[in-house]
Amino acid sequence: MAREDFSFFHSLRVRWAEADMQGIVFNGHYLTYFDVAFTEYWRSTGLPSVLQQASDGREMFARKATIEYNAPARFDDVLDIGVRCAGFGRTSVRFVLEIFRGDQHLISGELVYVYADTAVRKGVPFPEEWRAVLSRVEKVAPVAA
């Protein structure tokens, strides 16, 4: 994945509390970085917030998260976290995330969410209107699974 494939980036500065004894970001913090960037991505789309989804009785539940480490981030680095919708299943949606320090690609990741009925915790079809919105904001069209 190339930096140019992303239409959305969220910048974040690495804080002291996130660095380990070697001065590099502890690996578990990358999932938090993904979550922060994903939240801002979602907010930028104008789609219903997590609070609105909860009140509607339908929410996106995390199904899968992966991280691939290419190079470490360090204390005080300014990171650019790219988020893009990469594909849709019947009830799921897949996001690809990449973390960059300047032009250097540090981390790759994937988040898969299942859209579900909150009461029974079972997947329901991902809304067509949401698919349309996410497809419009992307430089690279999401694929159907």
User: How many residues are present in the chain?
Assistant: 145
Q: Is the pTM of this model over 0.85?
A: yes
Left (φ > 0), alpha (ψ -120 to 50) or beta: where does 120 sit? alpha
Q: For the chain, how many helices (H) and strands (E)?
A: 3, 7
Write out the chain's pLDDT in tens, 145 residues: 789 999 999 999 999 999 999 999 999 999 999 999 999 999 999 999 999 999 999 999 999 999 999 999 999 999 999 999 999 999 999 999 999 999 999 999 999 999 999 999 999 999 999 999 999 999 898 998 7
Q: Tell me the pairing of strands 8-13 and 104-117.
A: unpaired
